[in-house]
Structure 1
Amino acid sequence: MIRLTWVQPEDLIGHELRQAAEDGRACGPDAERVREIAARWHAAGGHDAPPRAGASEPGAARLRDLAGELLDELAAVPSPLPEPSDLDGIIAACPSWPGTAARAAVDPARVLGAWQGRAAGCVLGKPVEKIPREGIRQIAEATGNWPISGWFTAKGLPDDVAGRWPWNRRSAVNSLAENIDGIPEDDDLNYPLLALSVLERHGRGFTTDDVAKLWLDELPAGRTFTAERVAYRNLLDGVEPPATATRRNPFREWIGALIRADVYGWSNPGDPATAAEHAWRDARLTHTANGIYGAMFVAAMCAATMVATSPEEVVRAGLSVVPERSRLHEAVRLAAADAAREDDFERVVDLLHERHGSLHWVHTVNNAALVAATLIHGRGDFTATIAGAVAGGWDTDSAGATAGSVAGALNGGVPERWRLRDSLASSLTGYDGVGLAALAARTQEMMKP
């Protein structure tokens, strides 16, 4: 039996109830409605966690129908938090929104460094994705790689540690020191390719519909996850953006839009406002509120990192396009302050886990805060920056990729130990085997008027 994850109503309802707690519905004026919906689900035998793959339960069809009804009822409950998803509302909620600036001249080394850094950070995090923070540290310590300063390896890893913390099975085959050969495929690298494609095909005036059509043309459905898979399904059901982001989509504030935003920043050097607007057009296909803000935050940082001189300058640019009263703004602001104050990065991560430990490991808020913290604490050191993003123990390849992108650009390249053979694997048409140098040259073309 084929079980499609991330799309079945009975898999989604628990995540939507969790989202209701995060966006204030579960404790706001309509909290009783949310509690009543949860009670009906549990009384019918429903669970907050998805069933195991291949598991079947009596009354599964009945539960699926009920889950769909309850998802729609939850969607009708308004959130009491003032977190807009429309661009005008977002701009109005950002007192420090930057003015539109002329695109600055850029050293090509920064563009290549951004691509190299994104690839290196992604590959570093791949084998330990889904392993919690303590497991990552135990693996690294057991192989003489703590603090993390090189690729993970299975060589010399004691059996008891390996048994306690198994590698990510899909990634370890091509992302350990002993088997890395070029840059393996990953959604954190596929999405920047799609962003580059939409700019090349449709220009700087591209629309959300253009992004959606490109996905349907080029992105295999099996390469999508969480919010992206739900939105893809919605498109096939005839739902149009931005409803694709809200129809039965409890992942709309998770990290998916954030990992798609780098190219929109790189192609707008020194212009965080335009970069953020481009990221908004892309993100609204799949995300709302803090999910969109995460994409805008990263795009603005990537625009700044093409011309900035410090991580602090980059993070400030990112925060300038995030509504000040949002959960994301508060999380990033506090994380940056912790990183500037604490000498020990492990203490910084302790504080992040204390604040955000209840969030899913691929949520936007916790991962964006971690990225900001490691950028500030790393003080421009590439290795320390990607190591901190991965050691934090949430979405290791995504956080590593974003932190690496910024640090790689700031440094105009990455250290030799982090340079991979210049060939990127991809299931996207025309991209399999492409080199990062070629991608950097194409990105530079997108900077031109």
Structure 2
Amino acid sequence: MTPLRLTWVQPEDLLGHELRQAAQDGRDPSAIAARWHAAGGQEAPRRAGASHEPASPYLRRLADDLLDELAALPSGLEHSEPTGLGEIQALCPDWPTKQSGGLGEEDPPTAPVPRLHAAWLGRATGCLLGKPVEKLPLTAIRALARAAGNWPLTTWFTARGLPSELTTAYPWNRRSATTSLAENINGMPEDDDLNYPVLNLLLLQRHGKNFSTTDVARLWLDELPAARTFTAERIAYRNLLGGIEPPLTAHHRNPFREWIGALIRADVHGWTNPGDPATAAAQAHRDATLTHTSNGVYAAMFTAATIAEAATRAGDIHTCLRTGLSVVPPGSRLAQAVRHAVQLAQEHRGRDFDGVVDELHATHTPYHWVHAIPNTALLAAALTHADGDFTASICRAVSGGWDTDSNGATAGSIAGLLAGHPDAIADRWTAPLKNRLATSIGDFDGIGFDTLAHLTHQEASHP
């Protein structure tokens, strides 16, 4: 019988990821790493969610013990990278104030709906563009697109006409190829990058904008299937089932607490707080701290504040990104990475984006491909280099590799807001979606993006 290798929860794999995380967040794991390797423990898998073979019972017990020892190590970054909202605000000298020109202020009551419709369509489009190449290395993404005559990337990936040796060497994401290649798209398939915005819409419908982190936890247990969670979300879900309450759910044996999961949940917080990036960031913080700490939380706050700014007609993408950075501690690794990425993109204006991507990959080699820091940097670089243009934004975000569907989704959400109307997005992107979203959240399966826009506007209108 083939053993069940449930991803993102095996102690022997969590320990390998925690050793890397400890080295990144200012702790010294060398002594614990030596004990683990001396006992026969392996490194965490680089791309998969679980190692191929299960560890021995002894190694599993040892991994659990060492995870707890690693958690007790002191960090030299705790003062520059706090997780508490008050501490974060104290480090941010340019913390934003509410601006005029939001969705519900200068416009007629129904005018914002097309903008939100474009944001939902943008998120779905960018996600779908990135799905078939998720988990593939950068060299594979470039090779597959070039062989199809689609490089620089300008449209959907396709398997049509590709040499078999290329697709054998670089197989598409097995879960997505049947639903996300140009020849296979028939509506928007289910994806966690769309499940979470739907779930957070449901959160606001049930609890309003003053929801608590505990409300988020209860909603997940009621409405989110466990198998639809990954990385930090899966660990937090398991912690909840084990009787651990927030915010410890984000800390306990959770080496993925600085990865991208909280970022992909942030859109609704920005969509429903147009012109109020501070409130959007605070909402994203309450959501994110169920599963994440420090830079994982900052990535969500940065995204929510950027989107809240983009949901107005007050500024361009560069203003939006500066607003996003205003809610991130300036000395944090995430803020440094975003500033570097934006500078790179500005220096390469009018030149190929590949040079930006290559330097970002060289800079962020120590991080896992799902970590929030490199992915947020890539997102900021793509939006900057594209100057907010919709097609350029999603294509640059996806062509940069790492977490392709998540980066494409967030880039599409922001660029869709800036586009302002579904008709401003090319038909080749929106027509294949057929105004239909597949999801396992609540009663939303099969819902249209136009309906989601109206529901989001209702929540944006509430105090």
Amino acid at match of 2:66: L
Offset of residue 115 of structure 1:
0.4
| 1:416 maps onto 2:427 in alignment | yes
Aligned positions of 1:396-415 closer than 5 A: 396-412=404-420, 413=422, 414-415=425-426
| 1:36 maps onto 2:31 in alignment | yes
Offset of residue 56 of structure 1:
4.1
**Aligned-CA RMSD value:** 1.3
> Per-residue CA shift, 1:63-82, capped at 9, x if unaligned?
01000000000000121112
Amino acid at match of 2:441: L
The equivalent position to 1:395 in structure 2, one of 400, 403, 407, is 403
The equivalent position to 1:142 in structure 2, one of 131, 142, 147, is 147
TM normalised by structure 2 equals: 0.93
Alpha-carbon distance in 1 for matches of 2:149, 2:263: 32
The equivalent position to 2:186 in structure 1, one of 174, 181, 188, is 181
Alpha-carbon distance in 1 for matches of 2:90, 2:51: 45
Q: Which moved more, 1:17-26 or 1:182-191?
A: 17-26
Amino acid at match of 1:417: R
Question: Any conservation in 2 of the 1:131–1:165 contact (CA below 8 Å)?
Answer: yes
Look up the match of 1:346. 354
The equivalent position to 2:456 in structure 1, one of 418, 443, 446, is 443
Amino acid at match of 1:72: D
> Per-residue CA shift, 1:349-398, capped at 9, x if unaligned?
11111211221100000000001001011012211110111110100000
Alpha-carbon distance in 1 for matches of 2:149, 2:397: 19
| 1:191 maps onto 2:196 in alignment | yes
Look up the match of 2:233. 228
Amino acid at match of 2:16: G
Alpha-carbon distance in 1 for matches of 2:24, 2:341: 19
Look up the match of 1:72. 68
Look up the match of 1:111. 116
Offset of residue 54 of structure 1:
5.6
Look up the match of 2:371. 363
Question: Any conservation in 2 of the 1:5–1:11 contact (CA below 8 Å)?
Answer: no
Offset of residue 309 of structure 1:
3.4
Alpha-carbon distance in 1 for matches of 2:52, 2:165: 29
| 1:46 maps onto 2:41 in alignment | yes
Q: Report the secondary structure of 2:460's partner residue.
A: coil
Alpha-carbon distance in 1 for matches of 2:172, 2:70: 37
Alpha-carbon distance in 1 for matches of 2:96, 2:329: 12
The equivalent position to 1:322 in structure 2, one of 324, 328, 331, is 328
Look up the match of 1:87. 85
Amino acid at match of 2:443: G
Look up the match of 2:95. 97
Alpha-carbon distance in 2 for matches of 1:134, 1:243: 39
Q: Which moved more, 1:73-82 or 1:106-115?
A: 106-115
Alpha-carbon distance in 1 for matches of 2:207, 2:263: 21
Alpha-carbon distance in 2 for matches of 1:17, 1:168: 28
TM normalised by structure 1 equals: 0.96
| 1:132 maps onto 2:143 in alignment | no
Look up the match of 1:310. 316
Question: Any conservation in 2 of the 1:309–1:410 contact (CA below 8 Å)?
Answer: no
Alpha-carbon distance in 2 for matches of 1:349, 1:204: 37
Amino acid at match of 1:309: G
Q: How many residues are paired up?
A: 440
Look up the match of 1:333. 339
Q: Report the secondary structure of 1:69's partner residue.
A: helix
Look up the match of 1:120. 125
Alpha-carbon distance in 2 for matches of 1:138, 1:36: 41
